[in-house]
Amino acid sequence: MLLKRVNPWVCSLLLAGSVLTLTGCRKADVDRFDPAVTTYINVTEPAVFVRPQNDTAPWYRELQVVLDQKATDEKELAAKIEEKKPGVTEASTRLLVELDRAVQSRRNPADKWSALTLTLGKGKKAGDVQLNADVGLTGLYAKRPAIAFNELPLELCVAKLARESGIQHSQPRGYNPTVNWSKTDVSAADAYEAVLNTHGFDHKFTETFHRVSLRLQDFASRQEMLDAAIEAIAAKGKMLNSSRAAVAVSPRDKAAQPTEVPAPAADKKTPVPPPSPKK
């Protein structure tokens, strides 16, 4: 009889208050990224070439440490590399900057991809000069001013990052810990790595990243190499524009998850232990 005298509006306020008290302040802040991603230019250890007597000095020679004769030992080789390395690094950087500008001019505002890194250095063989270009989804790999989760279930963190990155997601049901995590100048990919690793989960990205690898010795001129690199990078970007990018989350400890016990075969009976002897 007492409940009938309580105003329904008051009941709804009391119920809402109790829900807020139980759930706490759950919040997810994922800042927007800057679509103008700055490509990371990286020059690694230089290729080393011993000049023959009839050297034709091809176009990529300035991108190698050139020796007139073999070094007598590792110490001498290291000293010669250190001596010539600054000039090689400067020439390599100029090439990568030129490539970066050309790639940026090919991108459209609506493109989902960016050239994340451009790397030049020694290839599989000591004298090979190798170019690697990493192309990825901007929304996933671009740095954001800040990402923060406060008292948020892990499955909601995964879903929020996926939505902000423009990718699909899949994750198991069951264990769903509460996440409290924040960081500045961080990408969504970095956030996935940190949050999931802390709580015992693994993840795998699909169709979010491609690498272009070119051996400079395979091209007759600098311009031919640049044209091939630009086309290859743009082609990978076009694939990312139309890809079904996704992240799959899985628990790291497989043994901790419940497993389904298989039923016995139809033609076999489960053995029954004999009855205990009577005393």
Q: What is the mean pLDDT of residues 259-278?
A: 43
Residue 188: count other Cβ atoms within 10 Å of its Cβ: 26
Q: What does each C-alpha distance from 45 to 78, 120, 132, 154, 173 come to in angstroms?
A: 11, 8, 13, 41, 46
pLDDT in tens, 71-81: 889 999 999 99
Distance, CA of 247 to CA of 170 (rounded, Å) = 7
Higher model confidence: residue 82 or residue 7? 82
Does this model's pTM top 0.85? My answer is no
Please state the φ and ψ torsions of residue 248, each to the nearest 5 degrees.
-115, 125
Distance, CA of 114 to CA of 236 (rounded, Å) = 10
Retrieve residue 138's tokens.
Answer: 């901007």
pLDDT in tens, 12-70: 433 333 333 334 578 889 999 988 889 999 999 999 999 888 888 899 999 999 998 88
pLDDT in tens, 201-239: 999 999 999 999 999 999 999 999 999 999 999 999 999
Distance, CA of 97 to CA of 229 (rounded, Å) = 13
Output DSSP code: residue 63.
G
